Amino acid sequence: MMWSSWAQRALRLTVVLFLVLLLTQAMTLLVPGDLAVMILGENASQDELAQLREELALDQPLLHRFLKWLGAAVRGDLGVSLQNGQPVAQLIADRFFVSFELMLYALGLALILALLASLLAVSRVGTWLDRICTVIALGLISIPSFSLGLFLILFFALMLGWFPATGYRLWSEGVVVHLSSLFLPALALALVEAPVYFRILRTDMVETLKRPFVMTAKAKGLPKWGVLTRHVLRPSLVTLITVVGLNVGHLIGGAVIIETLFALPGMGRLLVEAVYAKDLFLVQGLVLVVALVYIIANMLVDALYLVLYPQARGMERQR
């Protein structure tokens, strides 16, 4: 029965994925006037326009175009870029790793920061320490990623010179060089996420602290930190895991701003370039990858949830 509900969710997510892709295609209908003219510009010759219309199947109805693309996509053919004729799958593959690494790096930093801050805050609920953590979180939540990234560049790169301001260095240039070139962008993303995670974790931990088994653990004379990390933390992770799952999907495509600001060759920047150039196949391919990551992340979270909370398995039927 656990599997059936999981399969049901998977089916639902597949429908959602299908609709997301259809919607991307349908958005070309928003273009006022001729799509081919918009892509090639006013000065394109009739021959060029006719060729592009042929290539994009613009004379066909939207659904037909979409199914044609989908049929090829299922076989791994995402079409070619309208800018330089390179295969879309190849272009995305080249950039995917950078974004994925940035996402993991940022997620790791955010979770460490949030975990440390909430343990600190919860160890002394209601004291000045708790309040300071809460105020810092409120302040950080009020700074958008582009401002934050800019401040980090201004302070750590230009004033202190500890990290490079922009640019991406390969692993082959050395582990330290590589990781420090990604540190500021990852930190910028992490500082946007961490206060959100902190607030969720702190609220849930404060709730857990009121439960009887925590009192038992305390009464047994277990050390405070042991109680917090071993008894209070795990039952308090429910909401956090769900939110992290939702955010991972958004981070991989949502790093557009940070990748642009730090001049990183990731998918976010590829997307901005593709959108500016109206490179339809590339845009469609990128949406596919981002939506897939979003869906896979959500399914992983569901699985992780069942591993962490075996007691939820029996309740699956009711959900």
Partner 1 sequence: MSMFRYLALIWLVSLAFLAVSAPWLPLASFEKIDFINEAQFPNESSWLGTDGMGRDMLSRVVHGAQVSLAVAIASPLIGLLVGGGLGLLAGYYRGWLEQLALVIMDTMLAFPALIFALLAVTYLGSSLLNVILVMGVLSIPVFARIVRGQVLLIVNLEYVTAAKSLGVHPGQILIRHVIPNIFPAVASFFLTVMATMVVAEGALGFLGLSVPPPQPSWGSMIAEGREYLEEAPHISVIPSIAIFFTLLSLNLIKEK
**What is the smallest separation between the CB atom of 27 and partner 1, expressed in angstroms?**
5
In the complex with partner 1, the residue whose CB is nearer, 240 or 271, is 271
CA distances from 92 to 66, 180, 190 (A): 20, 24, 24
Q: Pick from 35, 37, 34: which is nearest to 45 by CA? A: 37
The three-state secondary structure class of 244 is helix
Q: Pick from 155, 238, 229, 218: which is nearest to 191 by CA? A: 155
In the complex with partner 1, the residue whose CB is nearer, 98 or 282, is 282
In the complex with partner 1, the residue whose CB is nearer, 2 or 150, is 150
Q: Which residue has the tokens 């429910």?
A: 238
**What is the smallest separation between the CB atom of 151 and partner 1, expressed in angstroms?**
7
In the complex with partner 1, the residue whose CB is nearer, 194 or 287, is 287
**What is the smallest separation between the CB atom of 318 and partner 1, expressed in angstroms?**
16
Distance separating alpha carbons of residues 235 and 188, to the nearest angstrom? 29
Q: Pick from 259, 267, 249: which is nearest to 145 by CA? A: 259
**What is the smallest separation between the CB atom of 256 and partner 1, expressed in angstroms?**
6
Residues forming contacts to partner 1 in the complex (CB under 8 A) are 12, 15-17, 19-20, 23-24, 27-28, 30-32, 138-139, 141-147, 150-151, 153-154, 158, 249-250, 253-254, 256-257, 260-261, 271-272, 275-276, 278, 283, 286-287, 290-291, 294-295
**What is the smallest separation between the CB atom of 65 and partner 1, expressed in angstroms?**
16
**What is the smallest separation between the CB atom of 138 and partner 1, expressed in angstroms?**
6
First-last CA distance in the chain: 11
SS (H, E, C) 22-36: HHHHHHHHHCCCCHH
**What is the smallest separation between the CB atom of 61 and partner 1, expressed in angstroms?**
19
Name the amino acid, one letter, at 288: L
In the complex with partner 1, the residue whose CB is nearer, 233 or 281, is 281
Alpha carbon 22 to its chain's center: 21
Alpha carbon 318 to its chain's center: 30
In the complex with partner 1, the residue whose CB is nearer, 227 or 266, is 266
In the complex with partner 1, the residue whose CB is nearer, 139 or 223, is 139
